[in-house]
């Protein structure tokens, strides 16, 4: 079965924040742009590795056991620098080794071919979503500046949208893969579209503070 074009576009979209960072190169960096770039680079690299492994071995599902925890860890790392207090920064930092330990334990003590899609992947997606949403809501409540002109607003919004699909789709796929393959296919296509939108939001966040105010709604 041919791979839908939107799935290729999804991989390309992951590089958009990297391009946006190059556009803003050398300017003030009020959010941790290098960490966003690292996260996107890891996403692109793992997708390319998965494609190569799939062509060579026919099964690349096990790569997610390592790639997804790494991606969540980087997100927690970059979000830690967006926190308003030292306590919150430390909390995000501590979540990284706790998450890593929990995932390693589950992979070793259970059959990951069964538990990964059913429990581990949704847990990781929920962690990424919760961390992104908390940062978005907390900073929104405390902000006294127009939100549409703030880089963190667009980046956290994009991260929240991105991780939403990684909470629901693995559970949906695990439930219906054996009985409704077409439903699962459309679920992944839908997630690809939301991912593309998420990376556009993140990319806008990477450059929005150097765009004239009238273009992003602030005065």
- What pLDDT, on the 0 to 100 scale, is given for residue 7? 83
pTM for this structure? 0.88
DSSP states of 35-64: HHHHHHHHHHHHHHHHHHHHHHHS--GGGH
At residue 53, the pLDDT reads: 85
Q: Where are the domains of the chain?
A: 5-210
Query: What does the pLDDT read at residue 214?
Result: 38
DSSP 4: P
Task: Look at residue 215 in the predicted model and tell me its pLDDT.
Answer: 38
Mean pLDDT, 10 residues at a time, the chain of 219 residues = 80 93 71 88 92 79 91 96 90 96 94 88 94 94 84 94 88 78 87 95 84 40
Q: Which long-range contacts (CB under 8 A, 24 or more apart) does 27-34 make?
A: 27/210, 28/209, 30/151, 30/152, 30/209, 31/81, 31/82, 31/151, 31/152, 31/155, 31/205, 32/78, 32/81, 32/82, 33/206
Residue 30's pLDDT is 56
């Amino acid at each position: 079965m041919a791979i839908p074009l939107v799935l290729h576009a999804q991989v390309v979209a992951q590089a958009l924040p990297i391009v946006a960072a190059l556009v803003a190169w050398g300017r003030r960096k009020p959010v941790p742009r290098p960490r966003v770039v690292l996260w996107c680079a890891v996403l692109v690299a793992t997708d390319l590795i998965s494609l190569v492994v799939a062509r060579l071995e026919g099964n690349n599902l096990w790569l997610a056991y390592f790639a997804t925890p790494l991606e969540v860890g980087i997100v927690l790392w970059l979000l830690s620098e967006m926190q308003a207090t030292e306590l919150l920064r430390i909390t995000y930092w501590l979540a990284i080794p706790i998450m890593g330990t929990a995932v390693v334990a589950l992979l070793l003590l259970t059959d990951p071919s069964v538990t990964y899609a059913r429990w581990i992947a949704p847990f990781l997606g929920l962690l990424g979503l919760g961390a992104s949403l908390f940062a978005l809501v907390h900073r929104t409540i405390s902000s006294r500046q127009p939100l549409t002109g703030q880089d963190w607003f667009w980046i956290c919004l994009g991260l929240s949208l991105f991780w939403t699909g990684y909470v629901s789709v693995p559970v949906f796929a695990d439930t219906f893969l054996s009985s409704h393959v077409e439903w699962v296919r459309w679920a992944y296509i839908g997630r690809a579209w939301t991912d593309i939108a998420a990376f556009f939001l993140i990319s806008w966040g990477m450059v929005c503070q150097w765009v004239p105010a009238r273009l992003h709604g602030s005065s």
